[in-house]
Amino acid sequence: MSVEPVSCTIKSPVALQIGDTVSDLSRPGVYITDITLAEPVNIQEISFKNYYTAYLTVRVQQREDGSVKWVTCLRNHCLMANPHAEAGSHDYFSIYRQQDTEWDVPAWLSTLTPVETSLDLKGLPDPETVSSSIQQMWALTEIMQASQNAASIGRFDVDGSYDVKLLSYM
Amino acid sequence: MDEGSDPSVTIAQIVQRLKGTHLHSQLEKQAKECLHRPEIKLESLKDDVRRWLKASGWERKLQNAVYRELHILTPPGHPRAPPEHTKEPLAYMRKAQAGWEKRIMKSLNSMCTELGIPLSRKRPVPEQKELTKKWNEMGTDEPDLSKFRPVYAPKDFLEVLIGLRNPNNDRSEEVTVRSHWGLIQVSLNVCDISQMREMYPELSFTYGQLGIDDHTHVPPDLFESEHIRVGKKVVSAQDSAAAQQYSRQGCPTGLRAQLWTLILNSDSDPEDLTHYEQLKARVIQHDLLVDNLIYKDVKLTASNDDYYFVFEDYLYQVLLCFSRDTSVLEHFNYNSATPPKSSIHSKSGSEQFSVVYPPNGVIPFHGFSMYVAPLCFLYNEPSKLYSVFKEMYIRYFFRLHSISSHPSGLVSLCLRFERLLQTHLPQLFYHLREIGAQPLRIAFKWIVRAFSGYLSTDQLLLLWDRILGYDSLEIVADLAAAVFAFRAENLMEVTSLASAEAVLADLSTLKVMPLLQIFLFATAV
């Protein structure tokens, strides 16, 4: 299944504040980012680059039979295991929609397993799937290998000359 | 490795890396040759060949090669993450590293311009012949190195690390009990002692250790004899993973060289010897400015050291070749650093090509030769010494002089040291701060060199056993804290940075394993 990017408008994040005025002493811990789509679309994947967000909640506005409702798809999904340390602060994430669910609310998974692969509950992937994807990978690596100049001892000179005058930096 | 990610990607990556290697062609050759053997039947060809490769030890060699690849493989990241994100995810650290590299390049360029010496030149043939003759005694040369100065010393790098700031972090100016008292001001995740106890169970009191239980007063039957017996088994089984696990309790002196080559999978194939000879030929052909930096460094550090001065010639033979080894460039995929570049003209003069300088992309700094010196006690064959050093560099040592957020990176190690001290020796830390003796200013040089040149060699090798065993440099930071804990009483009495440094100037009598064991397992948490 190919995923195509959907055009959308991303508004600047708005802080959730208690009370009317923004005071210097209290800093908001929650920001809301509104993303508007041009037309209703079945979203399969949301990819983003993090910048110091520790927990993510995703709410989606669904249209059904003329009525509009907000549903929470993902609540407090952890992006940074320790909010006070750097790990995960600049990382890239993808969250995927899980198709088969018993509930009306679509459940979202954050693993990198693509949608059509069923998760083996024992924790190990299905050997057939691994084997077939390895076949594909090998085909790819054959192409890559053929196009590379496989020199195990790489040369650093150019036609025998390595008269370096000065280092260049931007 | 992330259990959730698809292993087929990793498998494909490793297959691609091993394809075309010497091992691959050997395996193919063995598989072809074994077809003549009577036990290989046509009906069950695939299984029979596999069984034979396993029985003859070739499968183990492949396992070791795969294990080695797993050590240096970058885990498959998010498909949209660019390569620089793999090198270092935090943008502000990438920026700091780039700024630092620019400073080094400027410094090297100005040295080059002032001295009127090119960064690289081809040696005239008489000079090449001369060098070939003197290859085994380069130490006897006394070139005029007075004009050369090291590009940087560890303390210059420390200032850069101290200046690291996370732009997203709002720092209030006042220092409180809860704020960090040390010099490193970025918040990386570092382990505390209870987590370390889980990470290093083999260092606890319930396990035997070389460095403790091989003491002359301890009967060898209690631990040492059995440990050596197991070590011999590991070496004869040629199992890389087993050797790594084994070395957590220390390597016996007689087996250490073999165990380390096994762990690093740098067995001296004929391929390694050829590789080394090719590098030697390149040293003969081209003269690099960095060679003088290497000479100077060896003369200033290793040659002045009681333990290492005898190995001076070996150090040149290894480090000069190291500078010309383009296979080292590969490690920049996972190193936050980037190799310096230059451009040269083609012979016709019409085209310009971008080249890396030096060919391995690594500019040596003051003390660099100390990474090689201890290995000279283990290997006297230059090609073997070279391949072990190179593997240790691309797995561990490079992290000790680049800016990154990696748990074994220098920034994390420094922070880990400071946090351990602040948590478990707060009185000492506070006292040292008050007298203007920030502990990291003293410990930094130990950490950058992984204690080489500061501990006695036998103790250093016991420490490096554990670096290999746990595949991490974190134990270096732990030892630094343990040393401060050991000398805490004396340090509480000093009143200046100079006297604090004097207390910690001589570590040559320290026994590292008891210090580590007591600090990690006997400190109250």
B282: chain A residues, CB-CB within 8 Å: 156
3-class SS of residue B230: helix
CB contact under 8 A, A86 and B347: no
Look at residue A137 in the predicted model and tell me its pLDDT. Answer: 61
Please report, for residues B104, B117, B337, B340, B343, the alpha-carbon distance to residue B111 in angstroms, rounded to integers and kept in the order given: 11, 8, 22, 15, 18
A137: chain B residues, CB-CB within 8 Å: 8-9, 11-12, 15
Burial class (CB in 10 A: 0-12, 13-18, 19+), B271: middle
Nearest Cα of chain B lies from the Cα of A63 at a distance, in angstroms, of 31
CA pair distance B197, B204, nearest whole angstrom: 8
Chain A residue closest in CA terms to B108: A167
Look at residue A147 in the predicted model and tell me its pLDDT. Answer: 42
- Section A30-58 average pLDDT: 90
Nearest Cα of chain A lies from the Cα of B427 at a distance, in angstroms, of 25
- Section B350-365 average pLDDT: 90
CB contact under 8 A, A153 and B5: no
- Comparing A43-47, B132-136, B201-205, the range with the smallest average pLDDT is A43-47
CB contact under 8 A, A138 and B6: no
E strand or H helix at A15: strand A14-15
Nearest Cα of chain A lies from the Cα of B105 at a distance, in angstroms, of 6
Of A93, A134, A166, the CB nearest to B12: A134
Q: In degrees, to the nearest 5, what angle opens at C-alpha B141 toward C-alphas B136 and B147?
A: 135
Return the axis-axis angle of helices B382-395 and B312-323, rounded to nearest 10°.
Answer: 60
CA pair distance A134, A141, nearest whole angstrom: 10
B340: chain A residues, CB-CB within 8 Å: 167, 169
Q: What residues contact residue B416 under an 8 Å CB cut-off, 6+ apart?
A: B190, B191, B474, B477, B478
Q: pLDDT per residue over A61-94, tens digit each?
A: 887 778 888 888 889 999 999 998 999 999 999 9
Chain A residue closest in CA terms to B4: A111
* Pairing label, strands A31-32, A14-15: antiparallel
3-class SS of residue B344: strand
- Section A136-164 average pLDDT: 62
Nearest Cα of chain B lies from the Cα of A139 at a distance, in angstroms, of 10
A84: chain B residues, CB-CB within 8 Å: 187
Q: How many residues make up chain A in this entry?
A: 170
Look at residue B352 in the predicted model and tell me its pLDDT. Answer: 82
Instruction: State the DSSP string of B475-520.
Output: HHHHHHHHHHHHTHHHHHH--SHHHHHHHTS--TT--HHHHHHHHH
CB contact under 8 A, A87 and B189: yes
Other CB atoms within 10 A of residue B509 CB? 8
Indicate the residue type of B113: T
Of B8, B113, B168, the CB nearest to A134: B8
CB contact under 8 A, A161 and B122: yes
CB contact under 8 A, A167 and B186: no
- Comparing B238-247, B348-357, B369-378, the range with the smallest average pLDDT is B348-357
Of A81, A89, A166, the CB nearest to B90: A89
CB contact under 8 A, B78 and A91: yes
- Section B441-449 average pLDDT: 97
CA pair distance B304, B315, nearest whole angstrom: 13
CA B435 to chain CA centroid, Å, is 34
Chain B residue closest in CA terms to A93: B78
Q: Which of A119, A162, A170 to probe by mutation at the B interface, max B CB count within 10 Å?
A: A162
- Section B473-495 average pLDDT: 97
- Section A165-170 average pLDDT: 80
Statement: residue B424 has pLDDT above 50:
yes
Q: Give ipTM to 2 decimals.
A: 0.84
Statement: residue A148 has pLDDT above 50:
no
Q: Which of A122, A129, A166, A170 to probe by mutation at the B interface, max B CB count within 10 Å?
A: A166
A113: chain B residues, CB-CB within 8 Å: 4, 6
Nearest Cα of chain B lies from the Cα of A52 at a distance, in angstroms, of 8
- Section A107-128 average pLDDT: 47
Structure tokens, B62: 């492949």
CB contact under 8 A, B324 and A156: yes
A139: chain B residues, CB-CB within 8 Å: none
**pLDDT > 90 fraction of chain B, expressed in percent and rounded:** 70
Computed over every residue of chain B, the mean pLDDT equals 91
Q: pLDDT per residue over A87-105, tens digit each?
A: 999 999 998 887 543 333 4
Look at residue B315 in the predicted model and tell me its pLDDT. Answer: 96
CB contact under 8 A, B11 and A137: yes
Of A144, A156, A161, the CB nearest to B356: A156
Nearest Cα of chain B lies from the Cα of A51 at a distance, in angstroms, of 9
Statement: residue B106 has pLDDT above 70:
yes
Structure tokens, A59: 């709410």
Q: pLDDT per residue over B364-374, tens digit each?
A: 999 999 999 99
Instruction: State the DSSP string of A18-76.
Output: SSSSPPSS---S-EE--EEESS-----EEEEE-SS--EEEEEEEEEETTEEEEEEEEEE
Nearest Cα of chain A lies from the Cα of B405 at a distance, in angstroms, of 8
A144: chain B residues, CB-CB within 8 Å: 16
- Section A48-53 average pLDDT: 93
CA pair distance B344, B359, nearest whole angstrom: 13
Nearest Cα of chain B lies from the Cα of A54 at a distance, in angstroms, of 13
Q: Which of A90, A116, A134 to probe by mutation at the B interface, max B CB count within 10 Å?
A: A90
Nearest Cα of chain A lies from the Cα of B304 at a distance, in angstroms, of 32
Local confidence band at A134 (pLDDT 50, 70, 90 cut-offs): low
Return the half-sphere exposure (C-beta side, CA atoms, 13 A cut-off) of residue B337. 26
Q: What share of chain B is helix, strand, coil (3-state, %, to 5)?
A: 60, 5, 35
CB contact under 8 A, B120 and A162: yes
Return the higher-pLDDT residue of A84 and A22. Answer: A84
CA pair distance B146, B295, nearest whole angstrom: 11
Return the higher-pLDDT residue of B468 and B179. Answer: B468
Of B11, B91, B278, the CB nearest to A90: B91
Look at residue A23 in the predicted model and tell me its pLDDT. Answer: 61
Burial class (CB in 10 A: 0-12, 13-18, 19+), B93: buried
Other CB atoms within 10 A of residue B524 CB? 5
Chain A residue closest in CA terms to B187: A85
Q: What residues contact residue B286 under an 8 Å CB cut-off, 6+ apart?
A: A157, A162, B120, B121, B122, B123, B324
Q: pLDDT per residue over B5-20, tens digit each?
A: 567 888 888 888 888 8
